[in-house]
Amino acid sequence: MCVRKEEEVNNMDATAKEVREVVNSCPYCDDKADECKASLSSLKIGALVRLKQCKSESYDNCVLFLTKCLRSSGYSYGF
Residue 28 lies in a domain: yes
Residue 78 lies in a domain: no
Residue 30 lies in a domain: yes
Contact call for residues 2 and 10 (beta carbons, < 8 A): no
Task: Check residue 44 and report its DSSP letter.
Answer: B
Phi first, then psi, for residue 23 (nearest 5°) are -65, -35
- Give the number of domains in the chain: 1
What pLDDT, on a 0 to 100 scale, did the predictor assign at position 60?
Answer: 84
The whole-model pTM stands at 0.59
User: Residue 8 sits in which domain range?
Assistant: 2-72
In tens, the pLDDT along 29-76 reads: 877 878 888 888 888 888 888 888 888 888 888 888 898 888 888 766
What pLDDT, on a 0 to 100 scale, did the predictor assign at position 1?
Answer: 45
The total number of residues shown for the chain amounts to 79
What pLDDT, on a 0 to 100 scale, did the predictor assign at position 79?
Answer: 57
In tens, the pLDDT along 4-35 reads: 555 654 555 555 555 455 567 888 887 787 88
Residue 79 lies in a domain: no
Residue 77 lies in a domain: no
Residue 34 lies in a domain: yes
